[in-house]
Structure formats: structure tokens, C-alpha cells
Amino acid sequence: MVQSIPDLMTTRQVANYLGINEKKIYALTKAGKIPCTRVTGKWMFPRKLIDCWIEQSAVHPERRELRESRPFLLAAGSDDPSLGVLRDLFEQRASPASFFLDTVGSSGGLAAVHDGIADLATAHLLDPSSGEYNLPFVKNLFGAGAVVVELFYRQLGLIVGPGNPLKLRDIADLARPKVRLINRQAGSGTRAYLDHALARLKIRSQKLNGYETSVSSHIEVGLRVLSGAANAGLATMTTARMLGLDFVPLARERFDVVIARERFFSPNIQVLLNIVGSNEFRGRLDAMGGYDCGESGRIISTN
């Protein structure tokens, strides 16, 4: 049974929650590096703020102290609606169990793992010259220091309003004067896909109305289209189905998990990988639609 965590934690409770020494908590408190407040003379730690602090550690290298046998997993990288399923299953099977994801984009996720901040990265970076996903970037950054595991294949394309009112068919249509785009953030695999496609078509990004307006998740792209703030954006088929929007398929892309070799056999990573290869995980993604989980959990590379 997973132990319940109070909303306001004591020094000992937050030390157990983070998996670090209680003396380290006092040091972080004294240095003003951890969210806390004084209640009747005692230091207390709001759980919601601690959770936000953990997620932000993916982009703050100075927080390396969280790597000391922490009982949670910190993932950084690309966003996907299925990652909520992965989190739910992990928190059912691990104890104590917490799974955090910071959506810093595929490139940011790989950098966070390389720098020792995150436990794993989620990525779907396409190398145009080879047509390969993730492996060239992992090899360049890690050499022989990472393991790449397939999570699934998914459909990426244009999310448009019901009935596709502007009759958009491909990336070139985004350059039409009346089309308003909602983009993904720089460093994301989806943004990289768009930039490669524009370069191939010899279309300058400045021609796209809304290119500089970006959000950090597929759901946010869909919500902008649903609200009418944008006419189109690149996101997954699953996102379109969830929001009742239309979808124009553009690519079938592989979505991987990248793990530093020294972290691969840690207990929580192994729990996560067992979930990825399970029938339960595959079944829940099949029910969502837009995924091919036939080889989920396959080790693609041990660079």
C-alpha cells in the first residue's frame, strides 16, 4: 500500500519524500533553496510547492542533491498524453511512488539526463539525413553512456477544427495568409519536425502567422485550436481524438525513453520498464487510439 503524503510536511517527512538526509534539508532551508515556511516555530514544507520544485530541478543543474537515492522518478523531455497512463501505473506499483515529468522538449530532456539532473528522457527527435529517430542525437551526446528503449510509435500531424474548415492538407498550407498557427516550444521534437519540413519546402518561418507563439504540450495546442485562437498546430492523433478535433496525418514517429547507463538497473527504472512492456500499458494506450505499442519496451540501443 502506498503511504499517504500530508499536504504540509515536516523536515523529517520531506527528507523521506525526497530520499535525502534530514541534515541536507536543513542546509537547503538555511540557504533558501527549498520551498518552506515557519509554522509555530517549526519549518514546514508545502507538498505542492515541493512537487513543483522537483519538476523544476530538470532545468536547474544546481539541484543535483536530489539524485541521492531519491525514491521518485524525474523524467524530462517530450510531452505525450500517454505519459499520464505511465505515471498512474508507476504509482500503483512502486512504493513510495512519485513520477514527475518536466516538459522541456526532447533536446532539453536529453541534456537533463546527460547532466545528471533527470533519471530518464522522453524523446522523438528525427535526424533528417538518416531518417532515424533519437539514436544519432543520443550517440553524439552520450557516446556509449545511454540506453534507448522504445515506448511506442504514434501519429503526428496537423490538428484542425471540426470539418477542417480551411482544408489544410500539409505543412505548406500553414504559409497561407489566413492560417493562424500555434507552435511548440523550441527544443521540442515537434518543433524540430516543423523546422525540417519548412527547410525542405524552402519556406521561411516568418511566413507562418503564429510561428513565434508556442506552448509546451500537445493538449495546449489542441485547446488553442478548439478555442479558435489558432487554426492549426502540430500534435498527436490522440490529442485530436480527446478534444473532438480533426486530424491531418503527417508522420509516424517513434517515441523513446533514454536512460543513462548507470541508472538503468536502479529499482524504479526497472519498475517503469516492466510497465512499458506490460499488456496493461499496451491495452490502455490501444484504447486511447493513435498508438502502435507492438514493440513497447524493446531495447533499441545500448550506446
What would the grid cell of residue 181 be?
498557427
Name the helix (H) or strand (E) containing 29: helix 22-30
pLDDT for residue 159? 98
* Burial class for 22, CB neighbours closer than 10 Å (0-12, 13-18, 19+): middle
What would the grid cell of residue 296 be?
513497447
For the chain, residues with pLDDT lower than 50 are 1-3, 62-63, 68
Contacts of 68 (CB under 8 A, 6+ apart): 19, 20, 21, 24
What would the grid cell of residue 75 be?
523524467
What is the per-residue pLDDT across 273-293, written as a single tens digit (0 to 9) for each?
999 999 999 999 999 999 999
pLDDT for residue 272? 92
pTM: 0.76
What is the per-residue pLDDT across 49-71, written as a single tens digit (0 to 9) for each?
787 777 666 555 544 555 545 66
DSSP state at residue 2: P
If one counts every other C-beta atom within 10 angstroms of the C-beta of residue 83, the result is 19
Per-domain residue ranges of the chain:
1-66, 72-303
Percent of the chain with pLDDT over 70: 90
Written out in words, the top-level CATH class of the domain with range 72-303 is alpha beta
Contacts of 173 (CB under 8 A, 6+ apart): 166, 167, 179
Q: Is 86 helix (H, G, I), strand (E, B) or coil?
A: helix
- Give me the architecture of the 1-66 domain, per CATH: Orthogonal Bundle (1.10)
DSSP state at residue 211: T
What are 74's strand-pairing partners?
100
